[in-house]
């Protein structure tokens, strides 16, 4: 991991001193580092600290060209493989979200096409201010990754959310992503991912659905795209932001999801069925809201199409990844699904557990392969599970 060029953008928060530890961590692990600082950041820590740590001149004044033929902030933007804004003030977050370029840091950030990680650090009330929340949401929608602040003791003397993630954690998170990207190359692969639960309407106001949040499928799609794949995400109604660079296809019912997947199947190299597709739907859709009566209502359900099974039957060149969400006999049921549905890799998880699975940011899964091999991924983030699944897939 020696060739990556990492640009640090340090802005004027009390946590600016921690950015020095971050820079040191990256330098120590062989990354090439350059830094840019705002005028406010230089009030907290001297540019000399960063110049000494990264052995490069700090870019801080938009108009000081240092008698160089290069324009310093553009040169930095072009040189960058990945950018880290740390600590990120409410101010720089607002500027980035709105395309403002009025100093060396904001202008250089606007000029880079490298992936950007933003590490906010601020007072809890600033962090929960609607304007800051709106700006962070906009950055996420623009494909910028936010390394969320922790809850902890703040410089103001009380505890709250807003404390910058520790430098070692920031390093591990970014470093792991870089390693995964180097190891997993999915360029040229056409991948369809499905995510979320489907919704089966009963009448204009009632429907049947399940507890799937879509987070696992979204993590898979986002990471597959980062590893170079051409990704289409066919999803049910979920509360998650669109992923930049991924073709987003919104569906509601299992039938709609099936038809969107099938119409792209022939062209696809891989299909990852992470959606929780409803097995049944109401036999009849009532055009008008069904009036309640004193008696009971027996709702008859009919079988939905089994998308995974259909894909297994029609498989030619494609690799198929299935998910099994079970509440009992996890491995036994998953193994059965793998064989019966002609799947290449099956990800099985126990959805009876409260701490992982549906809705949670974490999961614990077993990977089952066609040759009978099994691998356990102990409780970790869905992001990490997505990377592990894609890594297995790339070596299938
Ligand atoms: C002592 C002190 C501590 C500050 N800490 C923070 C902070 O942690 N987070 C933040 O967003 N702003 C903080 N500010 C406010 C910023 O310095 C201010 O908004 C400034 O305009 C940011 O400029 P920059 O984004 O160009 O660096 C602090 C200001 C002072 C005086």
pLDDT digits (tens, 9 = 90+) for 174-221: 998 887 777 788 989 999 999 999 999 999 999 999 988 999 999 999
pLDDT tens per residue, range 323-355: 988 777 888 888 888 999 999 999 998 777 666
What φ, ψ does residue 71 adopt, rounded to 5°? -90, 115
The residues of the chain that CATH labels 3.40.50.10300 are 186-394
pLDDT band at 308 (very low <50, low <70, confident <90, very high): very high
- Ligand 1 mean position to 133 CA, how many Å? 17
Cα-to-centroid distance, 9 and ligand 1 (Å): 14
Going by alpha carbons, the residue nearest to atom 29 of ligand 1 is 13
Best CATH choice for the domain 5-181 from the list 1.10.760.10, 3.10.105.10, 3.50.50.60, 3.40.50.1950 = 3.40.50.1950
pLDDT range class, residue 391, cuts 50, 70, 90: confident
Q: What angle do CA 39, 45, 51 make, to 5 degrees?
A: 90
Other CB atoms within 10 Å distance of the CB of residue 396: 11
Per-residue pLDDT, averaged over 1-15, amounts to 85
Q: Is 210 an annotated catalytic residue?
A: yes
Q: How far is the CA of 164 from the centre of ligand 1 (A)?
A: 13
Residue with tokens 């660079």: 245
Range 161-174 average pLDDT: 93
Task: Tell whether the model's pLDDT for residue 381 goes beyond 90.
Answer: no
Does the annotation list 323 as a binding residue?
yes
Architecture of domain 186-394: 3-Layer(aba) Sandwich (3.40)
Higher pLDDT, 357 or 226: 226
| pLDDT for residue 361 is more than 80 | no
Quick one: what percent of the chain has pLDDT higher than 90? Answer: 69
Q: Which is the catalytic residue, given 56, 66, 135, 210?
A: 210
CATH 3.40.50.1950 in the chain, residues?
5-181
284 appears as a binding residue in the annotation: no
Residue 28 dihedral angles phi and psi, to the nearest 5°? -55, -35
Q: 124-145, pLDDT tens digit by residue? A: 999 999 999 999 999 998 889 9
């Amino acid at each position: 991991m020696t060739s990556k060029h990492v640009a640090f953008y340090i802005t004027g928060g009390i946590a600016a001193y921690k950015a020095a530890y971050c820079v040191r961590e990256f330098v120590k692990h062989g990354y090439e580092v350059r830094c840019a600082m705002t005028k406010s950041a230089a009030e907290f820590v001297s540019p000399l600290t960063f110049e000494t740590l990264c052995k490069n001149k700090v870019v801080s004044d938009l108009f000081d060209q240092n008698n160089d033929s290069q324009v310093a902030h553009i040169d930095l933007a072009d040189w960058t493989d990945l950018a880290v804004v740390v600590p990120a003030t409410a101010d720089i977050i607002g500027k980035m979200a709105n395309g403002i370029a009025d100093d060396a840091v904001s202008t250089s950030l606007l000029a880079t096409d490298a992936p950007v990680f933003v590490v906010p650090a601020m007072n809890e009330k600033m962090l929960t201010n609607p304007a800051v929340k709106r700006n962070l949401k906009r950055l996420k929608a623009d494909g910028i990754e936010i390394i969320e602040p922790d809850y902890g003791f703040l410089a103001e003397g009380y505890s709250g959310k807003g404390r910058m993630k520790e430098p070692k954690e920031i390093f591990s998170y970014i470093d792991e992503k870089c390693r995964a990207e180097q190891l997993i190359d999915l360029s040229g692969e056409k991948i369809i991912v499905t995510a979320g639960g489907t919704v089966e309407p009963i009448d204009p106001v009632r429907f049947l659905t399940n507890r799937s949040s879509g987070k696992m499928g979204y993590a898979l799609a986002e990471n597959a795209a980062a590893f170079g794949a051409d990704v289409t995400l066919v999803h049910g109604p979920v509360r998650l932001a669109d992923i930049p660079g991924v073709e987003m296809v919104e569906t509601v019912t299992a039938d709609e999801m099936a038809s969107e997947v099938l119409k792209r199947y022939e062209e696809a190299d891989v299909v990852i069925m992470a959606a929780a597709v409803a097995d049944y739907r109401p036999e009849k859709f009532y055009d008008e809201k069904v009036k309640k009566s004193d008696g009971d209502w027996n709702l008859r359900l009919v079988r939905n199409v089994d998308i995974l099974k259909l894909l297994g039957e029609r498989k030619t060149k494609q690799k198929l990844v299935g998910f099994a969400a079970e509440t009992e006999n996890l491995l036994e049921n998953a193994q059965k699904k793998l064989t019966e549905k002609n799947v290449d890799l099956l990800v099985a998880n126990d959805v009876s557990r409260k701490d992982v699975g549906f809705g949670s940011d974490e999961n614990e899964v077993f990977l089952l392969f066609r040759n009978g091999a099994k691998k356990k991924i102990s409780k970790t983030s869905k992001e990490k599970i997505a990377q592990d699944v894609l890594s297995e897939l790339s070596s299938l």
